[in-house]
Structure 1
Amino acid sequence: MLEAPSFHAIAAMVVTIAMFIGFARSRPSTEIVSLMTIAVIAVFLYFFPLPDTRPTDGLSLAFSGFGHYALITICALMIMGRGLVVTGALEPAAHLLERLFKWNVQIGLLVSLVAAMALSMAVNDTPVLVLLLPIFVSLAARGAMPASKTLIPLNAAVLIGGMATTIGTSTNILVVSIASDLGMPEMSVFHYTPIVLVAAAIALPYLWLVMPRLLKDNTQEDTRPRRHFQARLRVSEDGPLTGELLSDILPRLPDTVTVHDPPIGRLQPQQRLLISGPQEAVEEAMRTLRGEAAPDWVLSKIKRKASAQNEDVIVVELAVTADSRLIGRTLPSSGVADLYGVAVLGVHRPERWTGVTDEFNDYSAGDMRFAEGDVLMVTGLRADLEEFARGDSLLMLEGMRELPRRSKAVLSAVIMGGAVFTASIGLFPIAISALAGAILMFLTGCVKFDRVGRALSAKVIVLVAASIAVGSIVEASGAAAWLGMALSLGLSSLPPALVLGAIMLFVTVLTNFASNATAATVGTPIAFSIATELGLPPEPLVLAVLFGCNLCYATPIAYQTNMLIMGEGSYEFSDYIRTGVPLVLLMVTTLSVLLVLTYRL
């Protein structure tokens, strides 16, 4: 007969349920619920310590998440992802996928999901998501599907692919190792892959067509006015524009860029292209066409100075005020480049130009005179730009942004690739690879110390710490073991098919609220014991545990990749429940049926 759970086990289950309810309601915020959970565990264990422990041991357990390797790993992965973004290392891949999404959004998403599944079969799922995450964030910024509609499906595809081989996740290795220690024959890498591939094919339409519709567009609205800047690009002697037809170039430009007075015939060196569009679109056109929007000598000077001082080149918007020295002057006569070492890339005039006007032609020739209210798009170092604003009575507007440090793009890609490769072949644990990669990102200047805060998410940090604390108390209090014993007693009278489904569902619930390691450690011996008692082959029941450990879609605390996407997608706890629970039910049903058919139970 099953004994009643201990006082601490009951308390652990109550805390877990209360935390889940708090997250599901989204009130108060995720951060507050996480911190309150940690506080309750710390206070409870201080006054009611676990057997054979001191009151202060409870404090260590409650706050252990902040120093846990999983949290450190996640932070290190975020920093490496930031390094790829700020150096522009992912732009080629982003451009390729962007063209695919522009051609057909649905086909682009389908190809991405299938590629994610295939990659995670051979490479640990965490590095795969780390590589894909900044690409899809960049795609969202370029106008493809919003990140909030793609990251959860992408994460689910990575987790399903990781389930397909014994090396796909560390959890798979753990389950197979425990089963081998219990006397089962060791499974090969692709031992159960056909079962997962069939289940993945059944789940793919849900990930592709249904899941994005269940997610909101969490894109932050840009409240700044959409200013359209006019810029003139000079065709350089050795640039990619020379000898090209404009009709061949236009498809490579952002949709919001307009080319005015398009030239006839092939482009010639020193020829000018007049373009207009929002700041980001004009910058993208400059990068794509590699045209010069300012004199080459001043742009080279800015780059040399930035490299010498180890500073970022930034782009700002500066408004011409009534007291400005620039009023009535042209750009060449203003001497801006000589005086301040900055370059004016484009001009926005409140009366927006919609076509080729005399004023636009004056700008292209350098004869346009600045007027009060004009907004200049200027690039340079921060100190020089501030001096320019002070010296010429300009108002610095919102819209400052750093230019990618493209000279370090290859370096950041090599660092990330090295971290992923060493972790995927098992040379180093993912925690060590990620930490080493983050350190190298700092030492090489790919990521700067004063920019680290932009890479990290406070919500994710406290959520990870709270989930680790809850998983620790669920295991230490005996709650997980008691639930396993209750399950084994309740399954004795059920047919084999229902036994499989019940074991998988139990492990799935455990993995979504505790951890994969806890679910694997508790679930594998229980499955082996139930198989012995009921006279069933142990392998399908152990596989039910393995599959259940990977069905961690329903909560952000279930797995570290779930938490990695939380900040980038601006997700709430309810988003995981709404999209993850149907996927869990679909996968449990599909995998249970496939196990029954495969092993003829």
Structure 2
Amino acid sequence: MPGIPSFHAIAAMAVTIAMFVGFARGRLSVEIVSLLTIAAIAVGLYFFPLEGTSPTDGLALAFGGFGHYALITICALMIMGRGLVVTGALEPAARFLERLFKINLQLGLLFSLVVTFVLSMGVNNTPVLVLLLPIFVALAQRGALPASKTLIPLNAASLMGGLATTIGTSTNILVVSIAVDLGMPQMGVFHFTPIVVAASLVALPYVWLVMPRMLGDNRVIEAASLRRFETRLRVSEGSPLNGRPLAEIASRLPADIEFHDVPRGLLRPQSRLRMTGTHAAIEEAMRVLRGDAAPSWVIDRIRRKASETREDISVVEMTVTADSRLINRTLPSSGIADLYGVAVIGIHRPDRLLGEKDRFTDAGDLRIVEGDVLLVMGMAEELQAFAGGDSLLTLEGKRELPRRSKSILAAGIMGVSVGAASIGLLPIAISALAGAIAMFLTGCVKFDRVGRALSAQVIVLIAASIALGRLIDDSGAALWLGQVLAHGLQYLSPAMTLAAIMLFVTVLTNFASNATAATVGTPIAFAIASQLGLPAEPLVLAVLFGCNLCYATPIAYQTNMLIMAEGGYAFGDYVKTGVPLVLIMVTALSVGLQVVYGL
């Protein structure tokens, strides 16, 4: 019978429970609970150091998470993901999935889950999720399922796929290596794949159909996004509309684009199409139709200047005030492009002004009145000069246009970084950091925009989880829990023994770390097999499976934390969706092991 745990082990378990309760209750923010956890560890170990350590060693343990390679890796992956988004590198993949989601939302999600699972079997699941994360964020912005309903299911699929082979996750490799050192034969890459695939098929309906319904919608619909702007699109020589009727192309455009007074017959260069749509829809229509909503010469000048100065092109919304000189003028007569070098690509007229007489000139141009909202494209300096010079009020709703000239470069950097990690050429931490640096040096991501890629909530949470994991390991709490487990398993059947080992390791991995769970659990499995006269392999596989069932908390695995900010998730979202999945997988995997090994 195991003895009483040490004072430090009891304290480590108490801090773990307190942190879990703090997260689950939700009265304090994730950042506050995380910082309180770090503070408790630091103060406690300073006044009551671990045996054989000094007070300063305790401070190093408490604050070491801020410099840990796992945190650096996740920050680097976030930066690379930002690079793919701002350059538009993922737009082709996003458009393909968008078409699939338009056919059927559930079909699109099922296809995505299966692809994620299969990719994660052969490629480390972390790079797979890194590639998919910005795609599904972009899909949410295009009107598909919100990111909050897709990212946790996708993460679960990547974890299940990573579980299926010995190379799917670094934890699998660690468990297999420890088992070989203890005398077990080497396992092949697909040694236990059939068991995992069968269990995943059992869990798939829950992940596909139930999980999304348990998660809220994190989309924020701003008033600015509901404004509809009127514009005139000019058909260019290279436009797909050149020589064709509009009806042939209309299906490729956003659903909320509406055309008015469409010319009959085939369209020709310099034809002008009057259309209305939202800010994002107009930009998408300009891209698809390769047309301009303002004079081509000013748009070309803006793009040249952006290329020379390496600055972003922005599109902002400005409202016309009573003092503006633009009132009663039209865009052609306003001289905006000549005076300021900006392009007005749309005008929104508030509902209260829609009934005005003399709305259009004889040439069909809209007269500007007080209260109109202009959609203006240009560089930051010129936009500011335009707003100040013509008495305009800048509104929210600013969008920076993707730097598409760097999209291939950003995709190449991500591909090389992910590829190097996937084939084992470099550790994921080194390849991700090198990729993030390359994104900076090539201008795909700008230094002053790093804050948009990183989440303070995730950073503090990772640092706290790393410190807590080390405390559980160094204090002996994990070892003591393992001894208690080993003592109790002698009274259970072989099938229940497998499930108990898997659940124990699952709890450990969700509150400490995969490495701790693998390091502690694998030798315990061998010892239990010897004591109970059971084959070691199924018990070791129970440990390996348990190490990967990290669905129930955001601190359990790095991909859990990677999706937290983009999905807008709270701690409770992981608990309510992850615990049922853990129970389903534990049951299915335990039955699979029992059947395969004849226990």
Pair 1:260-2:260 in alignment: yes
Aligned residue for 2:265, secondary structure, equals coil
Aligned residue for 1:243, secondary structure, equals coil
| 1:82-481 matched pairs, under 5 angstroms | 82-224=82-224, 226-351=226-351, 359=359, 365=363, 367-481=365-479
Counterpart in the other structure of 1:11: 11
Whichever residue aligns with residue 534 of structure 2, its letter is L
* Whole-angstrom distance in 2 between the partners of 1:340 and 1:366: 24
Aligned residue for 1:265, secondary structure, equals coil
* Whole-angstrom distance in 2 between the partners of 1:267 and 1:497: 72
1:315, CA displacement in angstroms?
Answer: 0.4
- Deviation track 1:514-553 (CA, whole Å, cap 9, x = no partner) reads 0000000000111011111211111111110000000000
Contact 2:361 2:367 in 1 (8 A): no
1:245, CA displacement in angstroms?
Answer: 3.1
Whichever residue aligns with residue 539 of structure 1, its letter is E
1:456, CA displacement in angstroms?
Answer: 0.6
Contact 1:505 1:548 in 2 (8 A): yes
1:321, CA displacement in angstroms?
Answer: 1.4
Q: 1:588 aligns with which of 579, 586, 589?
A: 586
Aligned residue for 2:273, secondary structure, equals strand
* Whole-angstrom distance in 1 between the partners of 2:484 and 2:361: 81
Supply the RMSD in Å over aligned alpha carbons. 1.6
Pair 1:49-2:62 in alignment: no
Contact 1:330 1:366 in 2 (8 A): no
Moved more, 486-495 or 545-554: 486-495
5+ long unaligned stretches in structure 2? none
Counterpart in the other structure of 1:493: 491
Contact 1:353 1:360 in 2 (8 A): no
Whichever residue aligns with residue 343 of structure 1, its letter is A
1:352, CA displacement in angstroms?
Answer: 7.8
Contact 1:148 1:217 in 2 (8 A): yes
Contact 2:84 2:410 in 1 (8 A): yes
* Whole-angstrom distance in 1 between the partners of 2:253 and 2:555: 41
Aligned residue for 1:450, secondary structure, equals helix
* Whole-angstrom distance in 1 between the partners of 2:454 and 2:225: 28
Contact 1:228 1:352 in 2 (8 A): no
* Whole-angstrom distance in 2 between the partners of 1:165 and 1:9: 34
* Whole-angstrom distance in 1 between the partners of 2:577 and 2:263: 51
- Deviation track 1:21-73 (CA, whole Å, cap 9, x = no partner) reads 10111111111000000000000000000001001110000001000000010
- Deviation track 1:333-380 (CA, whole Å, cap 9, x = no partner) reads 22111111111111112248999x984686xx4643322112111100
Moved more, 491-500 or 478-487: 491-500
**Structure 1 length normalisation: TM-score?**
0.97
| 1:484-523 matched pairs, under 5 angstroms | 484-523=482-521
Whichever residue aligns with residue 372 of structure 1, its letter is E
Contact 1:331 1:366 in 2 (8 A): no
* Whole-angstrom distance in 2 between the partners of 1:238 and 1:2: 78
* Whole-angstrom distance in 1 between the partners of 2:503 and 2:110: 28
1:284, CA displacement in angstroms?
Answer: 1.3
Q: 1:539 aligns with which of 537, 549, 552?
A: 537
* Whole-angstrom distance in 1 between the partners of 2:221 and 2:397: 14
Aligned residue for 2:249, secondary structure, equals helix
* Whole-angstrom distance in 1 between the partners of 2:368 and 2:219: 36
5+ long unaligned stretches in structure 1? none
1:567, CA displacement in angstroms?
Answer: 0.4
- Aligned pairs, number: 599
* Whole-angstrom distance in 1 between the partners of 2:63 and 2:468: 10
* Structure-2 change in CA distance of 1:171 and 1:353 (3 Å): farther
* Whole-angstrom distance in 2 between the partners of 1:223 and 1:470: 43
Aligned residue for 1:274, secondary structure, equals strand
* Whole-angstrom distance in 2 between the partners of 1:216 and 1:336: 44
**Structure 2 length normalisation: TM-score?**
0.98
Whichever residue aligns with residue 91 of structure 1, its letter is E
1:264, CA displacement in angstroms?
Answer: 2.9
* Structure-2 change in CA distance of 1:144 and 1:354 (3 Å): farther
1:262, CA displacement in angstroms?
Answer: 2.5
1:489, CA displacement in angstroms?
Answer: 1.0
